[in-house]
Amino acid sequence: MPESQSAVTESSILKAALKILRKDGWGGISARAIAKKLKCSTMPIYSHFASMKKLESALKEESVEKLIEYQLKPYTDNPFLNLSIGYVQFAREEKGLFRFLFIERPAALSKTQLNRLLKRDIVTRLHELLGVTDMEQSPINKYFSSFEGDEIAKIAKHALIYTHGLAVLVSGGLMKSLSEKEITDLLLWSGDAFYRQIERELSQQEPEENK
C-alpha cells in the first residue's frame, strides 16, 4: 500500500536508502529508487533532502555509526584489537556500506558531519571505551605504556593499513571464508609484529645522554 506523503519521514527515507545501498551500492541510489521503495512520489524525498549531496552525507553518518557498532562489540578483552576485528567484520557483513564508505565514495567526513556524529551516544561510548577523556584510565596506558605518542601513532598507522587491506579482501570475496577466529589471529599476529618492530627501533636508537 502506498505511503501517504506525510508519513514519509527523514528516518523512513534513510532506512529505505540504506536497504538500496546494501543491495545495489551507491549507484543504485536515486530519489526515484527511494520513492519506489517507499511507494510514494519523489516529492517528500526532495522535501527532506534537497540534494543527493545531503542524502549522501546522511547515509555516510549512518554507515559510520554502524561501523562503530561493530567496533564496540567485545570480541576479545583488548579494545584496540576489537576495533580492528569490528572493522573487518563490518566489511564482511555489511559489504554495501563498507564499499560505499571506503571505495565508492571515500571522502573524509566534514567538520559538520563529525560534529553531528559526536552528539550521538554510540560515539560517546567509543570515547569512553578508549578513555579519551581520562588518559590515566585509558587502555592506551595499559597496552602502550612503554611508548611515546609518536610510536603509538606509528603502530596505529600500520595497523590501519593492514586492517583495511584485510577488510577489502574479505569484502571483495577473495578471503570470504575466513572465520572470526582466523580474522582475530591474523590481526593479533600483525599487531604483535608492528609492536615488536617499534621495540627494535627504539632499542637500536642511541640514548640521548650518550651522544
Q: What is the pLDDT of residues 20-40, one digit of tens each?
A: 999 999 999 999 999 999 999
Cβ(175)–Cβ(167) below 8 Å = no
The region, left, alpha or beta by phi > 0 then psi within -120 to 50, assigned to residue 9 is beta
Alpha carbon distance, N-terminus to C-terminus of the chain: 80
More confident residue, 88 or 115: 88
What is the tens place of the pLDDT at every residue in 149-183?
Answer: 577 677 778 888 999 999 999 998 888 788 899 99
- Give the lowest-confidence range in 82-96, 113-127, 129-143: 129-143
> Does the structural domain 56-210 have CATH classification 2.60.220?
no
**Cα–chain center distance at 157:** 15
What is the tens place of the pLDDT at every residue in 39-98?
Answer: 999 999 999 998 999 999 999 999 998 998 999 898 988 888 888 999 999 999 999 999
Torsion of CA 61, 67, 69, 71, to 10 degrees: -140
Matching CATH number, 1-50, of 2.40.50, 3.40.50, 1.10.10, 1.10.3120 = 1.10.10
- Give CA–CA dist 170/168, Å, rounded: 5
- pTM value is 0.79
Q: Judge whether residue 6 has pLDDT over 80.
A: no
- Model pLDDT, residue 175: 82
What is the tens place of the pLDDT at every residue in 185-206?
Answer: 999 888 888 777 777 777 777 5
Q: Judge whether residue 125 has pLDDT over 60.
A: yes
- Model pLDDT, residue 135: 41
Q: Is 74 helix (H, G, I), strand (E, B) or coil?
A: coil
- Give CA–CA dist 192/211, Å, rounded: 31
- Model pLDDT, residue 209: 47
Domain map of the chain by residue range? Answer: 1-50, 56-210
